[in-house]
Amino acid sequence: MLEISAGAVLSLLVTLFVGVLFVMMLSETIALGKGQDPLTNLIRSLVRAYPRLSYVVAVVIGMLIGHLFWT
């Protein structure tokens, strides 16, 4: 049977996070090379437009990481 441990979940989350960061950096590099607006400008404007939502997302991520580290 497949056993899911806290370490496996944390490893998966970190892998996904690094993958998303890599894709964002690649997208930004390509956009800047073409002279277009990078994706991070859109993300920055969304975070400024919805500060409460970005705060909630940050708190949930912090709670999840805290739960996985202190379990």
pLDDT in tens, 4-42: 888 888 899 899 999 999 998 999 999 999 999 988 888
- Domain assignment of residue 1, yes or no: no
Q: Is the pTM of this model over 0.85?
A: no
50: left (phi over 0), alpha (psi -120 to 50) or beta: beta
Residue 33 lies in a domain: yes
Residue 17: inside a domain: yes
Number of compact structural domains in the chain? 1
Residue 43, pLDDT > 90, answer no
Going by pLDDT thresholds of 50, 70 and 90, the confidence category of residue 59 is very high
pLDDT over 90 (residue 54): yes
The verdict on residue 23 lying in a domain is: yes
> Could you tell me if residue 2 is inside a domain?
no
- Which domain covers residue 52, as residue numbers? 8-69
Local confidence band at 49 (pLDDT 50, 70, 90 cut-offs): very high
